[in-house]
Amino acid sequence: MDGLAQKVQFLPGTLLVGTRINVVRSGVLSFDPKEALPKRNRGYEATHRKMIETAVKLISDKGVEAVSIAALARAMAVNRTTVYYHFDSREKLIEEVKAWSSQQLASAFEPVKPPQDRAEHIFRFVLENPELLRMWVDDALNDGDIRRLYPHWDKMVEGMREKFSLEGDPDGIDPEVFSINLLTMAFIGPSIFKSSVCPDADNELVIQRFRKETMRMLENRSFFGEE
């Protein structure tokens, strides 16, 4: 057995916990590297989600500069080793927070709830998370990958192209520019209104006003997945 074991090649630093090792016909031990990864306990996903939500709150309260592995550990009342088990660096943590934010913005376009409710979801999110919105806008201006920032981009543009085609599109409407205008209206409009037009307005009032005008502007509600 010792002679066979010497033929097995191990990657440096690999922890073989719960790894299935096979003896093939040649007599050489082999294993599947995919099974060499540490097993996650049942609460891993729930803890991971809680960490992202806590990081979101830190950003909303104090800005992105206040977020670090140590700050998250303090807020979660855990040690930094636990946080590092989920995020190997601050950059990875911020990356996942941005991904979470994009998912929140994109989720409103899934036709599960009425369009008015989905519009309200967007307006509430951007008003309650201005720091996250600033991160999103900054990436949109500098990253150059709208599909990462807004996962439904291709689907949205294609839907607009089909819609204009069916309507005859007498004015030659550009579906990409039209889609950008809609996203800008939904994501940035409420924040500008709250910060520059009516800074003392209650969020709920701003949400209701934008929801009303959005539904008026989008008569067929195609922006929110309605045919």
Residue 19 falls inside a structural domain:
yes
Condensed to tens digits (0 to 9), the pLDDT of residues 189-210 reads: 999 999 999 999 999 999 999 9
Residue 192's domain spans which residues? 98-224
Q: Mean of the pLDDT values across residues 114-140?
A: 86
Condensed to tens digits (0 to 9), the pLDDT of residues 75-99 reads: 999 999 999 999 999 999 999 998 8
Residues 6+ apart with CB under 8 A from 187: 105, 122, 126, 133, 136, 137
Asked if the model's pLDDT at residue 5 lies above 50, the reply is no
Q: Which is more confident, 145 or 95? A: 95
Residue 145 falls inside a structural domain:
yes
Q: Give residue 50's pLDDT.
A: 94
Residue 25 sits in the same domain as residue 134: no
Residue 148 falls inside a structural domain:
yes
Residue 113 sits in the same domain as residue 160: yes
Q: How far apart are CA 189 and CA 172, in angstroms?
A: 26
> How many domains does the chain fold into?
3
Question: 90-109: b or e for each residue (b if 16 or more CB lie within 10 Å)?
Answer: beebbebbbebbbebbbbbb
Residue 197 falls inside a structural domain:
yes
Q: How far apart are CA 148 and CA 139, in angstroms?
A: 10
Residue 25 falls inside a structural domain:
yes
Residue 93 falls inside a structural domain:
no
How far out from the chain centre does Cα 1 lie?
A: 49
Asked if the model's pLDDT at residue 11 lies above 80, the reply is no
Q: Mean of the pLDDT values across residues 131-156?
A: 84
Distances in whole angstroms, Cα of residue 142 to Cα of each of 33, 177, 209:
37, 18, 31
Condensed to tens digits (0 to 9), the pLDDT of residues 95-113 reads: 999 888 888 887 766 666 7
Q: How far apart are CA 109 and CA 156, in angstroms?
A: 9
Most confident stretch, 12-21, 46-55, 146-155: 46-55
Asked if the model's pLDDT at residue 223 lies above 80, the reply is no
Q: Mean of the pLDDT values across residues 214-226?
A: 60
Helix or strand holding residue 21 (H, E) = strand 21-23
Residue 8 sits in the same domain as residue 48: no
Residue 80 sits in the same domain as residue 156: no
Asked if the model's pLDDT at residue 1 lies above 60, the reply is no
Q: Which two tokens stand for residue 16?
A: 């073989």
Specify the CATH number for the domain of residue 59: 1.10.10.60
Residue 132 sits in the same domain as residue 218: yes
Q: Give residue 93's pLDDT.
A: 94
Please report, rounded to a whole number, the percentage of residues in the chain having pLDDT higher than 70.
Answer: 72
Q: How far apart are CA 119 and CA 225, in angstroms?
A: 11
Residue 204 sits in the same domain as residue 118: yes
Residue 121 sits in the same domain as residue 139: yes
Report residue 226's pLDDT band, with 50, 70 and 90 as the boundaries. very low
Residue 187 falls inside a structural domain:
yes
Residue 82 sits in the same domain as residue 109: no
Q: Mean of the pLDDT values across residues 110-131?
A: 82
Q: Give residue 170's pLDDT.
A: 58
Q: Is 30 helix (H, G, I), strand (E, B) or coil?
A: strand
Residues 6+ apart with CB under 8 A from 29: 4, 5, 7, 8, 21, 22, 23
Beta-bridge mates of residue 31: 21
Residue 51 sits in the same domain as residue 138: no
Residue 125 falls inside a structural domain:
yes
Average pLDDT, the chain: 77
Backbone angles phi, psi at 21, to 5 degrees: -105, 130
Residue 220 sits in the same domain as residue 181: yes
Q: Give residue 33's pLDDT.
A: 40
Backbone angles phi, psi at 29, to 5 degrees: -70, 140
Residue 133 sits in the same domain as residue 24: no
Residue 134 sits in the same domain as residue 206: yes
Q: How far apart are CA 39 and CA 41, in angstroms?
A: 7
Q: Give residue 3's pLDDT.
A: 45
